[in-house]
A and B are shown apart, each in its own frame.
Chain A
Amino acid sequence: MSTTWDTVSEGMEIPSLAKKCNTQQLVHWAAASGDFYQIHYDHNFAEATGLENIIVHGALKHAFLGQLLHDWIGNEGSIKKVGCSYRGMDFPDQDIQCKGIVTRKYEENGEKLVDLEIWTENPDGQRTSPGVATVQLP
């Protein structure tokens, strides 16, 4: 199930990853990550800070993008860099599509590398967490 460098080409889209978190998953994430900010699980608290609803943790969307890469490269490759900025809010029980496109394929210091543009997309097609990644492939 591992992707090899030879099979990758610039411009290719990697298999997308579909997510939809319920509030229970956000509580799981709060415990696993140690981020207990109440805007992510306490509706009254979220409203009192001016939000319309509970929002999905930014770092969880970053972790989704990490899974997107892992599921694509398998265990023979590795993630060198994964980053994104949080440009738009995502809400519980809403589709979050995680996607990526290969932007550059190259060798550096004897490693076979691939750069990607990655992002999460909300149901309106807006990129709520755009970012970039570098992975090393066998």
Chain B
Amino acid sequence: MVKQDSLITEEMQATIGVESEPWTLEIDKTSVRMFARSVGYTDPVFYDEEEAKKAGYQNLPAPAGYLGTPIFNPTRASEARGSRPNPEPSRPLKRMLNGGTDVEYMGQICAGDILTATNHVSSIEERQGRLGEMLITTSKTVYKNETGETVAIVTGTGIRY
């Protein structure tokens, strides 16, 4: 078997653990309703403020997996989503798939909250799988609310192949 060079370049290795610039995400009533509707929630707490307050929430609660919508501004696109250089592997990989999502909650998130997120790549691995040569990147994103409290940590796995 011919031993191929690693897909992972030194430049890619150097990105591991490097924290991104922060970016801002908003949670508002419309975005909570849109998210809840797209999943198919029927509990009125996600749609009706009165119901949400009756159930003990500050406002419409963010459904599991909803961590706000990044502020879009075409004139400041370079600041979106913790943007930073994303080095290419040593051989081109054209396709990607989402490998998994883990969300850990430390606090409650409701409409009206503004979150600040930063993220970093925690590991890069390569593997031979059913899709052929695969590059598996795990990243961690930490979400804080306006009081500085960490409300959620999301670990995401991306697969390029």
Contacts and interface: CB of A to CB of B under 8 A. Distances in A.
**Do the two chains belong together in a single complex?**
yes
A94 interface: no
B9 interface: no
B105 A34 contact: no
Given A28-B38, A71-B43, A58 B103 contact: no
A79 interface: yes
A32 B43 contact: no
B105 A32 contact: no
Given A63-B63, A86-B97, A80 B39 contact: no
B85 interface: no
B157 interface: yes
A81 B104 contact: yes
For chain B, what secondary structure do more than half of its interface residues adopt (helix, strand, loop), or is it mixed?
Answer: mixed
Contacts of A109: none
Contacts of A79: 64, 105
A3 interface: no
B70 interface: yes
A125 interface: no
A75 B39 contact: no
A25 B43 CA distance: 18
B100 A83 contact: yes
Contacts of B69: 34
Given A34-B69, A70-B63, A82-B65, A50 B40 contact: no
B132 to A, nearest CB: 11
B155 interface: yes
Contacts, number: 103
B76 interface: no
Interface residues of B, number: 34
Contacts of B83: none
A4 interface: no
Contact of A78 (B45, B66, B104, B105): B105
A64 interface: yes
Given A60-B39, A70-B63, A82 B103 contact: yes
B63 A66 contact: yes
Interface of A: 19, 25, 28-29, 31-34, 37, 49-50, 57-60, 62-67, 69-71, 75-76, 78-86, 131
7 nearest interchain CB pairs? A66-B64, A83-B102, A85-B100, A28-B38, A58-B98, A75-B55, A32-B38
10 contacts: A32-B38, A37-B96, A49-B94, A66-B103, A69-B64, A80-B104, A82-B65, A85-B99, A86-B97, A131-B100
